[in-house]
Chain A
C-alpha cells in the first residue's frame, strides 16, 4: 500500500502528510528544548553567582556563522531542485553536510579543552546545563547529517523515479535543519555571551 499524500496535498490541511508531520515533530522539539531552557532559567536565577567568560566566544561565533551558512546552503539545495538544477542541488546539499561536520569538529575541540581542564558536566551547574543543552543540540546535528548522507547516497535515486516526492523530502529535511540552526541562535547568546 502506498503512503497517501506524499506529493498531492490533503484537502483538509492543504499540506502533504510529510510536511504537516515534520511541523508537529518540530512542535514537540520546541517543548523539549523549552524544558531545558526553562531549567537553565531556574538554575541561573537560583544560583548565588553565575560564571562568565567560561567559553570561547570566538569558537562560538565561528560555529554560529557556520550554522547560519549551512541554513542558506540547505534552502538553496531545495530551491535548486525546484528550478530543476540537479548538479547545483548536489553541491549545496554536500556543502551543508560539510558545514555540519565542521561544526561538530569545532565542538569536539571545545569539549576536549574543557574536559582536559577538568570542566566536565560534574564541575558546576553552569557546565552541567552547558553540556546538556549543547550535547542534545549536537545530537540533532548528527541526526541531520545522517539524513543528508542518505539523500546524497541511496536516497538520491528517488529523484529519477519521483522528482516531486524527492523535492518534498529535501524540503522536510530543510525544515528540520533550519530548526536546529534556530535553536543555536538562542543557545549562543545564552551560553556564550550572557
Chain B
C-alpha cells in the first residue's frame, strides 16, 4: 500500500485505467454471451473474463499487488480451501453407493 501522498497521486491514474478496463471487459462479457457458444466454451470465456476483472480489482483497488507477506499467506491458505470447497461436488458424482452396477 502506498503511504506517500505523491505515490498515491501517481496511483490515481492506474485506478482510472483499471476502471476503463473493467468497463470494456463488462461489455465484452455481455457481447460474448450473445454469440451462443456451446455451454463449456461460454462458461470458460465468461469465467476467464471474470477472473481477469477480479484480479484487477484485487490487485489495484485492494492493493494486493504490493502487500505484506502476512496477507499473502492468509490468502494462499484461503485459496487452497476455496478450491477444495468448489470441487467437493465432484466427489458426489464418484459416489456409487446404492447405484446398481
B-binding residues in A (CB < 8 A): 12-15, 20, 23-24, 27, 30-31, 34-35, 37-38, 41-42, 45, 57, 61, 64-65, 68-69, 71-72, 74-76, 79, 82-84, 171, 174-175, 178-179, 181-182, 185-186, 188-190, 193-194
Of the candidates A57, A65, A75, A178, the one whose C-beta lies within 8 Å of that of B23 is A65
Of the candidates B18, B47, B70, B93, the one whose C-beta lies within 8 Å of that of A15 is B70
Residues of B near A41 (CB, < 8 A) are 86, 89
B57 touches A38 (CB 8 A): no
> How far, in whole Å, are A194 and B41 apart by their CA atoms in the complex?
10
Residues of B near A24 (CB, < 8 A) are 74
Q: A178-B62, A194-B42 are in contact. Are A27 and B74 (CB under 8 A)?
A: yes
Whole-angstrom distance between the Cβ of B92 and the nearest chain A Cβ: 7
> How far, in whole Å, are A191 and B68 apart by their CA atoms in the complex?
34
Smallest CB gap from A187: residue in B: B50
Known: A15-B71, A34-B82, A194-B39. 17 other contacts (CB 8 A): A14-B68, A20-B71, A23-B71, A23-B74, A31-B78, A31-B82, A61-B26, A68-B22, A71-B57, A76-B12, A79-B15, A174-B62, A178-B61, A182-B54, A188-B29, A194-B33, A194-B46
A57 touches B30 (CB 8 A): yes
Whole-angstrom distance between the Cβ of B56 and the nearest chain A Cβ: 9
Whole-angstrom distance between the Cβ of A64 and the nearest chain B Cβ: 5
Interface of B is mostly: helix
Listed from nearest, the 10 A-B pairs whose CB atoms lie closest are A42-B89, A189-B46, A193-B33, A27-B78, A13-B70, A82-B8, A14-B68, A72-B19, A178-B61, A34-B85
Q: A37-B86, A42-B92, A194-B43 are in contact. Are A83 and B9 (CB under 8 A)?
A: yes
B58 touches A178 (CB 8 A): yes
Interface of A is mostly: helix
A-binding residues in B (CB < 8 A): 1-3, 5, 8-9, 11-12, 15-16, 18-19, 22-23, 26, 29-30, 33, 39, 42-43, 46-47, 49-50, 53-54, 57-58, 61-62, 68-71, 74-75, 77-78, 81-82, 85-86, 88-89, 92-93
Q: A23-B71, A64-B26, A76-B15 are in contact. Are A82 and B2 (CB under 8 A)?
A: yes
Residues of A near B18 (CB, < 8 A) are 72
Smallest CB gap from B83: residue in A: A34
Residues of B near A171 (CB, < 8 A) are 1
Smallest CB gap from B4: residue in A: A82
Smallest CB gap from A33: residue in B: B82
> How far, in whole Å, are A171 and B81 apart by their CA atoms in the complex?
26
Q: A13-B70, A27-B78 are in contact. Are A34 and B86 (CB under 8 A)?
A: yes
Q: A82-B5, A171-B1, A174-B61 are in contact. Are A189 and B86 (CB under 8 A)?
A: no
